[in-house]
Structure 1
Amino acid sequence: MKRTVLTALAGLSLTLGANLASAQMLSFASPPQGSVWNTMSTAMANVARSEQNINALVQPFSGNRAMMDAVDQGMAEFAINDVNDVIVAVRGEEDYNDRQRKNLRVALRISPQPIGIFVREDSGIDSIADLKGKKVAGGWNAFPLGRPHMAAMLATGGLGWDDVDQVPVPDLIRAADALSSGRLDATYFAVGGPKVAEVDASVGGVKFLPVASDDTANAAMAKIRPAFYYSVVNPAPHYAGVEKPIEMVTWDNVLVVGANVSDEQVYQMVAAVLENKEKLIELFPGFRNLTVDTPHKSYPSLEYHPGAVRYFKEKGLWQE
């Protein structure tokens, strides 16, 4: 009798443990609402819940450093970020020079992400070189990623910070608000960001500025952000500010995960993203660029999480 009771209790304990494991909440660290990464994170969390029964939510943070610290320290499990920023975080360089964020791993390469400096359509500004002496978003205290991004794009037009009138802004959303109110002539955003569409509607139209991509411009950009590259962006209904094909600075969005997140949880999250592209597109059209065939790409100083590696190898997506 005693053995039967113990066996039953053991079975109950295993069942409760499995239920608790499946009920564990996984969070995405993201920028504030209105940003592309927040929108993408929300879509991923929704698909993870509906398709893989993963309890996932989105937790906004003030900026990229706070996001990476949250994942590194286990306060959040996942985050979407520019691969350039993840590299410097792991190395402990630039904005992360107080220490190395050694617990950051890559779960998958999500998509190429074009970014651009945008202005009011009626501003009379048609190129990055035209920004000389203009009021340009600077500072970026709550979103330090903004400073090298802006600097790299200004460099393609032969400009540095001393060539523009820097107006301090804390982050992307409030910089866009400053453009809308007239405090700024130019700021930047990821193409397809909901906030750009909001500003577009409020001021009667905005436009992204094309970047130069000749050898001189490329060399100037590479000194600031060596993993940036160029891509041509074509007009699309959800691309406010893009009226004709233009060349833009581009990075790879990657899904970052903490080293201590279990292999199975990472495996299931990667599966939820890569196996539900159409559902993700319904939630955010930018997922049309989801790299389902090339989710693994080698990056300097970065490791992939073992759970992601297992998925890629099983599906024939691992590139040696």
Structure 2
Amino acid sequence: MTFRIHRRTFMGGAAALAGSAMLPRGAFAELPGTMQWTASDVGSSGYVEATAIANALIEKHGTRIRIVPSGTSIGRMMQLKQGRVNMGFLANECFFATEAIFDFETREWGPQDLRALMGREALFGIVTAADSGVKTLADLKGKRVARIQAHPSTNFKVEGVLAFAGLSWDDVEVVEVPAYSAGIQAVIDGNVVAAGAVIGASLLRELEASPRGIYWPPVPADDQEGWDRINRAAPLFAPSTMVNGPGATPENPVPLVAYRYPILSVYADRDADEVYELTKAIVEAYGLYKNAAPVMSAYDVKEAGHPPFDAPVHEGAKRYYQEIGNWTEEDEVWNEARLERLKAVQAAWDGAVEEADQNGVPDAQWPEFWAEYRATHLG
């Protein structure tokens, strides 16, 4: 699969916005009179972005939108699953839920039939100090790499970037750290050679300004074999380039990995006309929220409306993108492949449940049983 390369200026920071505002419903009939969306905790980027878009729709359509924050992936997913919210501003739990991994490997969950509307691009890479001697990802073999306790999202991304060089966690010396920021701090302190990082992390500027300097082992877009290795496990990643950020300038850009956060998500059975209208409303209100925070410009439909996403695109959103000429043949190929993958995971789950029931596998042993069955039947 060929992926689109986005060249943007990525910067951290976000303006503080109110969590909910309500105005009388106007004359527009495209949207429900009231909506609830879920996002991560108050003050997080996902919450700020959801609020910015909600405020724009409130202003443009007079609809009433409440943002329901949740600090956990399970909390956000549960609200979606139970129909308590119309849409979720999700992180990688969207992918994990479709694959029935990590928090979603229990029999209470299993593969969730999620769909994406859009998602703005974010950049991720493995960061090291400029004086570490590491020049390529392959140089990390045998080196100390931070792995964050109870943080599957970052660890999953690190695993994907390592795969670019044909490496895995087994090929590096794993150093467990208690939190995301602790991984970057460990690079600064010299306790690890490398750690995974989103480019907006404030500690990266500290590393950049230190005598050691900052360096990102590149993930070049033209290395097709490397990208094939990444996408075999993670079809949500694509090549991109940091041109303005810690360790990068327009004159010295850095090729990294793009993913989507947040992913505007619903279940597949959400009414197609409703999703069409919601997607349309969000796209057409772009001018009202694009300056609400530095990152909001990344919601331009020409970028945020194309896969790859963590889940297939909802048919209602796809119909709108086709209508405005924003759906390409490449998008269709990716989406069909992603739908087939989701069907395969669902079929594997059903087969595993049936076999487990026949063999009397207790619930306590289910995660291990599912992991083995999944590896055998899905690869």
TM-score, normalised relative to structure 1? 0.69
The more displaced of 260-269 and 249-258 is 260-269
Residues 209, 184 of structure 1: CA spacing in aligned structure 2 closer, same or farther, 3 A cutoff? same
By how many angstroms is 1:230 displaced?
1.8
Query: Could you tell me which of 285, 301, 305 is aligned with 1:292?
Result: 301
In structure 2, runs of 5+ residues without a counterpart are 1-28, 333-379
1:96 aligns with 2:101: no
In 2, Cα distance between equivalents of 1:184 and 1:152: 19
The aligned residue for residue 242 of structure 1 is 248
Query: Could you tell me which of 264, 268, 281 is aligned with 1:255?
Result: 264
The aligned residue for residue 79 of structure 1 is 89
For the aligned residue pairs, the C-alpha RMSD in angstroms reads 3.9
Check conservation: 2:237, 2:308, Cα contact below 8 A.
no
By how many angstroms is 1:256 displaced?
0.7
Q: Per the alignment, in what secondary structure is the counterpart of residue 79 of structure 1?
A: strand
In 2, Cα distance between equivalents of 1:258 and 1:145: 21
1:200 aligns with 2:231: no
1:302 aligns with 2:308: no
In 1, Cα distance between equivalents of 2:310 and 2:185: 36
By how many angstroms is 1:138 displaced?
1.4
In 2, Cα distance between equivalents of 1:241 and 1:168: 25
The amino acid across from 2:69 in the alignment is Q
The aligned residue for residue 109 of structure 1 is 118
By how many angstroms is 1:59 displaced?
1.3
The amino acid across from 1:167 in the alignment is V
Query: Could you tell me which of 1, 16, 26 is aligned with 2:36?
Result: 26
In 2, Cα distance between equivalents of 1:265 and 1:188: 38
Check conservation: 2:119, 2:309, Cα contact below 8 A.
no
In 2, Cα distance between equivalents of 1:189 and 1:72: 30
Q: Per the alignment, in what secondary structure is the counterpart of residue 90 of structure 2?
A: strand
1:138 aligns with 2:143: no
Residues 133, 197 of structure 1: CA spacing in aligned structure 2 closer, same or farther, 3 A cutoff? same
The amino acid across from 1:240 in the alignment is P
Q: Per the alignment, in what secondary structure is the counterpart of residue 119 of structure 1?
A: strand
By how many angstroms is 1:115 displaced?
1.7
In 1, Cα distance between equivalents of 2:178 and 2:265: 24
In 1, Cα distance between equivalents of 2:187 and 2:310: 36
By how many angstroms is 1:92 displaced?
2.9
Q: How does 1:55-74 map to 2 (within 5 A)?
A: 55-57=65-67, 59-62=69-72, 64=73, 66-74=75-83
The aligned residue for residue 220 of structure 1 is 229
Query: Could you tell me which of 132, 150, 159 is aligned with 2:167?
Result: 159
In structure 1, runs of 5+ residues without a counterpart are 1-17
Using the aligned pairs only, state the percent identity: 25
By how many angstroms is 1:117 displaced?
1.3
In 2, Cα distance between equivalents of 1:282 and 1:103: 33
By how many angstroms is 1:199 displaced?
3.8
Residues 132, 39 of structure 1: CA spacing in aligned structure 2 closer, same or farther, 3 A cutoff? farther
TM-score, normalised relative to structure 2? 0.60
Residues 27, 311 of structure 1: CA spacing in aligned structure 2 closer, same or farther, 3 A cutoff? same
Check conservation: 2:148, 2:183, Cα contact below 8 A.
no
The aligned residue for residue 194 of structure 2 is 186
Check conservation: 1:29, 1:70, Cα contact below 8 A.
no
Aligned length: 287
In 1, Cα distance between equivalents of 2:223 and 2:191: 32
